[in-house]
Amino acid sequence: SQTIHQWPATLVQPVGSPLSLECTVEGTSNPNLYWYRQAAGRGLQLLFYSVGIGQISSEVPQNLSASRPQDRQFILSSKKLLLSDSGFYLCAWSQGSSQPQHFGDGTRLSIL
Amino acid sequence: DQQVKQNSPSLSVQEGRISILNCDYTNSMFDYFLWYKKYPAEGPTFLISISSIKDKNEDGRFTVFLNKSAKHLSLHIVPSQPGDSAVYFCAALIVNNAGNMLTFGGGTRLMVKP
């Protein structure tokens, strides 16, 4: 069966520090991969998606970037975090264009 | 412009009764609609979906109804159980070769009282 792992579960970082959140999927090959953010009291906003290694599409202009160095690995990064980057970050995967997305357990990021 | 809206931020229901969660959308190009359930500090869990060519899909206690003319869908949970208490997100999907991007509503918090 397929599983998705995200880490860390929680992270507290100072403003201006770098960020690296990692997501890996097991039990499938060539998945579509996604990064979402849920700000407090709001719905899920798609940040990035990837349909293959090295292929990244960005949905919103922001302080973050994403990379897909391997087929089942998706990384969310920032060189300098802002206070507004605080939130709950979720990685998701799907197999095929009409299949549901399945989510990891998320990372709670707090910027001080 | 919010393409998917859940106008009720919260809903409280007695155990054993029916829970009805509503969702409205504006984009007639959506191919599928999905419902996710989310507990605090966890990722959303996929519940049920419906194709835009259908008007009903049922899975156990969960039924989703789609009214395309009204651009409205709803999730019915019968009977409601305390473990159903969570935030429910409606999402819509357009199928294309660039990946199936979901557009989410803002969520509805369901509280099922024992």
Share of chain B above pLDDT 70, in %: 96
Q: Is the pLDDT of residue B70 over 90?
A: yes
Q: Which B positions 68-97 lie with beta carbon below 8 A of chain A?
A: 89, 91, 93, 95-97
- With H, G, I as helix, E, B as strand and everything else as coil, classify residue A59: coil
Residue A71 sits at the chain B interface (C-beta within 8 Å): no
Q: Give tens-digit pLDDT for B77-87.
A: 999 999 999 99
Instruction: Measure the CA–CA gap between A52 and A62, rounded to whole angstroms.
Output: 22
- With H, G, I as helix, E, B as strand and everything else as coil, classify residue B76: strand
User: Which residues constitute the domain of residue B63?
Assistant: 4-113
Structure token digits, residue B56: 């009903």
Instruction: Measure the CA–CA gap between B95 and B91, rounded to whole angstroms.
Output: 13
> CATH no. for residue B37?
2.60.40.10
Q: Is the pLDDT of residue B55 over 90?
A: yes
Residue in B with minimal Cα distance to A44: B104
pLDDT score recorded for residue B40: 86
pLDDT score recorded for residue B76: 98
CA distance B11 to chain A (A): 15
Topology (CATH level 3) of domain A3-111: Immunoglobulin-like (2.60.40)
Structure token digits, residue A35: 């990064």
For residues A21 and B102, which has the higher predicted lDDT (pLDDT)?
A: A21
CA distance B62 to chain A (A): 16
pLDDT score recorded for residue A108: 92
Domain count, chain B: 1
Please list the pLDDT of chain A residue by residue as tens digits (112 residues): 889 999 999 999 999 999 999 999 999 999 999 999 987 666 788 899 998 999 998 877 678 999 999 999 999 999 999 998 999 999 999 987 678 899 999 999 999 9
Task: Tell me if B43 and A106 make a contact (CB, 8 A cut-off).
Answer: yes
Residue in B with minimal Cα distance to A107: B41
Residue in A with minimal Cα distance to B100: A97
User: Other CB atoms closer than 10 Å to residue A5's CB: what's the count?
Assistant: 13
What are the residue boundaries of the structural domains of chain A, listed by start? 3-111
For residues B52 and B1, which has the higher predicted lDDT (pLDDT)?
A: B52
